[in-house]
């Protein structure tokens, strides 16, 4: 008999536990304890959207409160478990007081990740067209196994839970999955929308639900710097949860049906984005190649607002670091202006940039309780690093310091993937792709080059 069902029989308070069992999932446990879910003290705080009459510019409108994510913290004072030294701790460098270990290995091109309602990590395994669940039932800081829960997901890149469904982004469509019979396999699949351009050149598609309950999807460009014929490319799209077009989309009634799902455009390759507590959207954006080793600066934080254009392929943000208010983008003279953009005066610059060819992919905001206070609200971004620049860029995890609701500086948080400073990241030992915060405040990093998932904890010092 399943051991969680046994616990349901024995525990008078096991109703919630039984519900988890019916879904084919196991509840998370506090590090350093045995999995006795009935005696563990855990606090779960839902992050919801709330209606407002005066929101900051560019915020996402909120409907009736919708739970979009959960942050789980525990009351235990136990120090985090740190497994024995391994290949990650031998070469990867993190700040003093932190420890990094391999949490899981042997995955096939793991990309973006999400935390499930069970507190476990779900990973888009793009190389295998599958989704993997990583559990740690014995709390030893190591994944028990790579549990493949869904297959046949062509080009799966990101995933997120919404109203008991696991939504997954594939090359040209969004599907949602469920495990209705509780056998651990998410065999129920429903097409949400295929109103997304087929993957060409930039093949990743990333989805997140906003505090308004809407589904946001980013799509990369089909070239380095050629204007698109399909306006849904190089854009952020917005759908209802069932894949239909929201009535308040900026182009919802456009004569060109392909423009109707667009929320914002001119984003060459925004591989990830987040929603802030106040509803603002921050997205990364990979700039064009072949303008030189230092141009254009990598737009690692764009504040994406309804109906705005962010420049590509016509313009780019010229400033490195904090972008001063009033900054104008500059023209990429390789590309004549078009009907959609008549000058760089009409496009929105980034708000924070970094070295050209850093290639940001996954991003997350740290709102856990396990890192020091000065990490609260900071961003972590996985820089995939250069592959074609004569001055190689590091593949690393970058910490972007946020103060008073704005990015103010950045510094390296995890590095050591390359054998030397001249090595291109395409041939490095590893290459970070996704970052997410775990149920106990740890930071998980996926590596799509060597198939590892890293777990970073704060141990003090």
Q: What is the pLDDT of residues 46-73, one digit of tens each?
A: 333 333 333 444 566 554 333 333 333 3
Q: Of all residues in the chain, what percent are helix, strand and coil, respectively (each to 5)?
A: 10, 35, 55
Q: Is the peptide bond before 461 cis (omega within 30 degrees of 0)?
A: no
pLDDT in tens, 79-111: 899 999 999 999 999 999 999 999 999 999 999
Cβ partners under 8 Å of residue 84, min gap 6: none
Query: CA-to-CA distance for 211 and 67, rounded, in angstroms?
Result: 7
Query: CA-to-CA distance for 425 and 441, rounded, in angstroms?
Result: 28
Lowest-pLDDT range of 114-118, 321-325, 383-387, 395-399: 383-387
Contact 13, 38 (CB under 8 A): yes
Mean pLDDT of the chain: 87
Residue 390 predicted with pLDDT over 90: no
pTM of the prediction?
A: 0.85
Contact 195, 239 (CB under 8 A): yes
Tokens of 14: 């096991």
Mean pLDDT of 350-373: 97
Q: What is the reported pLDDT for 79?
A: 87
How many CB atoms within 10 Å of residue 316?
28
Q: What is the reported pLDDT for 23?
A: 39
Q: How far is CA 214 from CA 257, 357, 377, in A?
A: 19, 32, 23
User: What are the boundaries of each domain within the chain?
Assistant: 1-40, 49-458
Eight-state DSSP code of residue 231: T
- CATH number of this structure's domain 49-458: 2.120.10.30
Query: CA-to-CA distance for 454 and 397, rounded, in angstroms?
Result: 11
Torsions phi, psi for 145 (to 5 deg)? -165, 165
pLDDT in tens, 260-273: 999 999 999 999 99
Beta strands in 142-245 (DSSP E): 146-150, 158-162, 165-169, 174-178, 188-193, 205-209, 215-219, 235-239
pLDDT in tens, 123-144: 999 999 999 999 999 999 999 9
Q: What is the reported pLDDT for 59?
A: 61
């Amino acid at each position: 008999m399943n051991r969680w069902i046994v616990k349901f029989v024995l525990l008078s308070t096991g109703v919630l536990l039984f519900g988890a069992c019916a879904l084919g999932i196991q509840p998370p446990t506090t590090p350093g304890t045995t999995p006795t879910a009935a005696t563990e003290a855990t606090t779960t705080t839902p992050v919801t959207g709330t209606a407002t009459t005066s929101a900051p510019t560019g915020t996402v409108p909120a409907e009736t409160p919708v739970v979009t994510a959960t942050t789980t913290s525990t009351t235990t004072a136990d120090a985090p478990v740190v497994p024995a030294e391994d290949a990650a701790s031998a070469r990867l460098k993190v700040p003093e007081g932190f420890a990094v270990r391999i949490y899981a290995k042997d995955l096939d091109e793991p990309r973006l990740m999400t935390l499930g309602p069970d507190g476990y990590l779900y990973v888009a395994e793009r190389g295998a067209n599958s989704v993997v669940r990583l559990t740690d039932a014995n709390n030893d800081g190591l994944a028990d196994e790579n549990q493949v829960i869904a297959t046949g997901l062509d080009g799966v890149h990101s995933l997120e839970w919404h109203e008991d469904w696991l939504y997954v982004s594939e090359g040209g469509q969004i599907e949602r999955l469920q495990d209705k019979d509780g056998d651990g396999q998410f065999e129920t699949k429903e097409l949400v929308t295929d109103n997304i351009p087929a993957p060409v050149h930039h093949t990743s598609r990333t989805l997140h639900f906003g505090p308004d309950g809407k589904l946001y999807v980013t799509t990369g460009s089909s070239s380095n710097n050629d204007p698109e014929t399909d306006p849904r490319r190089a854009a952020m799209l917005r759908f209802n949860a069932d894949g239909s077009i929201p009535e308040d989309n900026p182009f919802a009634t456009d004569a060109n049906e392909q423009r109707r799902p667009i929320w914002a455009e001119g984003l060459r390759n925004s591989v990830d984005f987040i929603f802030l507590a106040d509803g603002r959207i921050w997205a990364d954006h990979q700039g064009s190649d072949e303008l030189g080793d230092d141009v254009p600066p990598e737009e690692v934080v764009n504040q994406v607002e309804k109906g705005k254009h962010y420049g590509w392929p016509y313009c780019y943000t010229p400033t490195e670091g904090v972008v001063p208010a009033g900054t104008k983008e500059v023209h990429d003279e390789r590309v004549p202006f078009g009907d959609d953009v008549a000058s760089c005066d009409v496009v929105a610059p980034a708000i924070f940039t970094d070295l050209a060819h850093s290639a940001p992919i996954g991003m997350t905001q740290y709102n856990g309780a396990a890192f020091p206070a000065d990490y609260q609200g900071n961003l972590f971004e996985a820089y995939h690093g250069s592959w074609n620049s004569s001055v190689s860029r590091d593949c690393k995890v970058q910490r972007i310091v946020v103060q008073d609701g704005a990015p103010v500086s950045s510094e390296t948080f995890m590095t050591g993937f390359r054998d030397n400073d001249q090595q291109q990241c395409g041939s490095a030992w590893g290459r970070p792709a996704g970052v997410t915060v775990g149920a106990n405040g740890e930071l998980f990093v996926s590596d799509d080059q060597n198939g590892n998932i890293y777990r970073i904890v704060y141990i003090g010092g």
